[in-house]
Amino acid sequence: MSIIDIASYLPNHEPTVDVASFKNAMRNLAGAVSVVSVGTGPERTGFTATSVSSFSVEPPTLLVSLNRDSSSWQALQAAGAFAVNILAQHQSAVADRFAGRGGIKGNDRYVGWDWTRLGSGTLGLEGAVAVIDCDLDEAIERHSHAILLGRVRSVSITPDAQPLLYWSGTYQTLR
């Protein structure tokens, strides 16, 4: 069996896609809104993400995308763990805060909501649709972001909670 050099099959030119057009196209991809909690103590921070998906069930693993310019990138590298909090439809204020709206940063983003300490040391949001505690298995750095592979430690689910969704630049709920 031989290894094929995929690069030799690709066109040798830079893409001409306008960044604004790409962003606009991606707004049409509806997604669940999650807050990814990272770190412990005063170094705690986190971010809002719609780029979360299952990667593997054997072993249970999540895939999360994180901008490497984010303060969460440094905290994640130090902590080696994170939690994905899939937000319920009434938790849009949490999403806004962790997205940096209002200028609140770091540990202050956690103020005003109830959190539970998880096995990894990160915090899980009370009332979230699901909280998935992960150890960082691998971080693959590409372009401006890192692809995080998180090995799942534990899962908790809030029965009957409805998810918060993001589509076309605004929060949405299931009807």
- CA atoms of 139 and 149, how far apart (whole Å): 6
Cis omega (within 30 of 0) for bond into 11: no
Per residue in 75-100, pLDDT tens?
A: 999 999 999 999 999 999 999 999 99
Q: What is the mean pLDDT of residues 110-114?
A: 96
Per residue in 17-33, pLDDT tens?
A: 888 888 888 888 889 99
pLDDT given for residue 19 in this prediction: 86
- Checking if the pLDDT of 4 tops 90, the result is no
Cβ–Cβ under 8 Å, residues 175 and 101: no
Q: Give me the domains of the chain, ranges plus CATH numbers.
A: 29-167 (2.30.110.10)
Per residue in 40-62, pLDDT tens?
A: 988 899 999 999 999 999 999 99
Those residues with Cβ within 8 angstroms of residue 145's Cβ, 6 or more apart along the chain or in another chain: 65, 66, 67, 68
How far, rounded to the nearest angstrom, does the alpha carbon of residue 150 sit from its chain's CA centroid?
11
